[in-house]
Amino acid sequence: MVCFATSSCTLSFRKYKKPFAVESASDPQLKKLVGEWMCTKIVVESNNRAQELEMEDVLSSVREDLELNVIELGAPDSAWTSYRSNGNGYQAMQWEFQPANNINFSADGAPVGSFAIAALEKDTMVLLMQLRPPDGGAGKAVCSCQFTRINSRKIAGMRLYDPAINWWRPQPQKNESHTELVNRLKAMLKFDYVYIRSLYYSAATYIDTKRLNMPFIYYNGGIGLKDYPDGTDSFTNFFYSKENIEEAMHILAKGFGKVQYTKRPNYTLEYAQFMKDLADVIE
């Protein structure tokens, strides 16, 4: 994760109906931070259009790291985990609360950045950070990151960080057997199933299919399988060899012939259901 905030954010919270205000790290309100959060929207809060344009590249990088990604916050002074859906692992950091209203992050003892808590309710959170241009210029802007708490009961009772659906991330160190490849594909599909449902129940307004791990083509009302993943597909990062990739594609192709795409009230739920159904039939 990339943070561009200074070590201490002094920002205005007057626009929020219930601004967050805590003066002690032992305040019970901080328990509301614990859990999994989907970042549903990131915007620059500025009345200066020229300033927004100056920050465009920085904002793009922040969106790549956070928007439509999930963070998990443990108890204060424990690990913060930043999830990137097409990565081979996690980025874990420590976090601590600094009165008033700041969350500071560090990795391996080195400071990484800081957010200011603008608003915190049971299921919603707004974090602010200051952006500065990459050339070190004097300009700055405030970036608002809006989060929705993920309700695990609505996503099959599973946490997105459950080891049972994340063990496939490290690339294997040798060729895998047919059974091992099937198990790997099942876990990858189940992860995408949980992630897509997390998007839907977090009220995210869109889905970025580039964040999904499978070599699929996504249509309005259907999903197709690529003939072969190209070098830009994250799918290829999770297999040891070209031979294993080819066998995995063959397993998926056979599964496609057994699954019927099910219509749902929302295309996001259709994608999720297809992932689950395909995971159930591949062998």
The set of residues, in sequence order, having a beta carbon less than 8 Å from that of 275 and lying 6+ positions away, is 189, 190, 192, 193, 196, 214
* pLDDT (0 to 100) of residue 102: 82
Rounded Cα distance between 276 and 271, Å, is 9
178-201 vs 242-256: helix axis angle to the nearest 10?
Answer: 60
Q: For residue 11, what pLDDT is reported?
A: 42
Domains present along the chain, CATH in parentheses: 28-149 (2.40.128.20), 159-281 (no CATH)
Q: What does the pLDDT read at residue 14? A: 47
State the pLDDT at residue 277.
97
**Mean pLDDT in order along the chain per 10 residues (283 residues):** 36 54 79 86 73 72 80 67 55 75 78 82 85 63 86 77 84 97 96 90 84 91 90 86 96 96 90 96 97
Could you give the CA distance from residue 1 to residue 211 in angstroms, rounded to a whole number? 15
pLDDT per position as a tens digit, 207-250:
888 888 899 999 988 999 999 887 777 899 999 999 999 999 99
Q: What residue spans of the chain are helical by DSSP H?
A: 49-54, 56-66, 178-201, 242-256, 267-281
Give residue 185's pLDDT: 97
Q: How far apart are CA 214 and CA 34, in angstroms?
A: 30
- Whether omega before 107 lies within 30 degrees of 0, making that bond cis, reads no
Report CA 7 to chain centroid distance, whole Å. 24
Element holding 142 (H helix, E strand): strand 141-149
Which pLDDT score, from 0 to 100, does residue 136 have?
A: 58
pLDDT score at 46: 63
Q: Report residue 161: phi and psi, to 5°.
A: -95, 10
- Which pLDDT belongs to residue 3? 34
Give residue 226's pLDDT: 94
